[in-house]
Structure 1
Amino acid sequence: MKKVSSTQYVTNSEMFGRSECIDGEALLEWKVKVKNLIVKVCGDTSEHYKEFIAGEDPGAFQTSLDRFKRVKSIFLAAKEDFEGGYLTSVKTLVQSEVFESELEQAEELLKSGYHLAAAVISGVVLETGLRELCSRENIPHAKLDKMNSDLAKEGIYNKLQQKRITALADIRNSAAHGRPDEFTNEDVRMMIRDVEQFLAIHLEG
């Protein structure tokens, strides 16, 4: 949205006077992406999607900025409903065909402002990776903290890595319980990076 807003400019004409507008191509690109996201998350029969389509209709004497503000408010309403848990579950998002992999999905969700879902998905990937690592090392599956402790005891990785995994698990738990004030977007970005690096180091091959 910031990219679109940054294209704002002013025009003046004898008939309409001063008008505030935004770049048409930037607006179109943003609308296509948002409509696709709303369809995937809410469905093409949802009220959010219907309102977005209706909001695209250029009314009389309305500028491109007016239309952008209208559809932006609809998108933000859908975003708020999603984060409030009123639209869909994280499980549904994980299964979505929009993303090629879970971590790529987490990155896209984070970029779109869904940092809670991004943290939960990253945590699921981490726990799945720990289970796989336990299987390879003949360590019984258990809760994340227990597997993390057992893997460190067996020398699969050091205490520093164990502490980092504990910290990542804390972020996942905070997100799963709807406590966004306990971590930041940057924490989630680093979480995605760290999970990716952990899997590359310990599960490659």
Structure 2
Amino acid sequence: MTALIGKRFVELEQQLAGLEAGVTQRQSPLTGSMMNYLDPEQLLNWSVKVTSLLERVGPEASSQLRMFVEAEKPKSMDSAFDRFKRMKAVFLAVKEDFEGGYLVSYRSLVQAEVFTSELDQAREQLSSGYKTPAAVIAGIVLETKLRDMCTALGIPLGKLDKMNADLAKAQAYNSTQQKRITAIAGVRNSAAHGKPEEFTPADVQGMIDDVERFLAAHP
């Protein structure tokens, strides 16, 4: 999720540069002097995309979203270029905060602690010889994370395999990761259906490690 949002920030910064490159000089109908002209429709198009992105970031970016909306509002004798300069300043500041890791919600921090605790529990179960409950716990952690990612991206919730396919299609992660999640789901399903003969303790250890790496890559 974080990687996808970061990618969108980069795309919108590139579009911002395109807007700036398209600024031309025109004569003001009011003063007769030359002024910077920016197509208002192109600015609106970019603004809608930025607003949507900040809404997706979540409550932790609510104050920045308000500032962006305020920057967009026309002021006396404003041109589209004047609004653009204010919006650009807010957008770049938010992008910097995001890339610096400063837009992290309290919920995300709590959830990360819960996931870590549950994976530690899975490891303890496995080390005590209980590979089946260990696999079930790790599977629950993974499925919960996929559900959260789907919710954030507006993807309908469903079974693990369906969510995995939909998230890969939405480019939340690549096909290699999708295949690994499919393998993890296979071990989880065998454990949940009481078929311990279909997997080994090494399979469960690899599953736990893979889930942990996935959580680290998609905070």
Please give the TM-score of this superposition, normalised by the length of structure 1.
Answer: 0.50
Q: Looking at CA atoms only, which structure, 1 or 2, has the larger radius of gyration?
A: 2
Relative to its length, the structure with more helix (as a share) is: 2
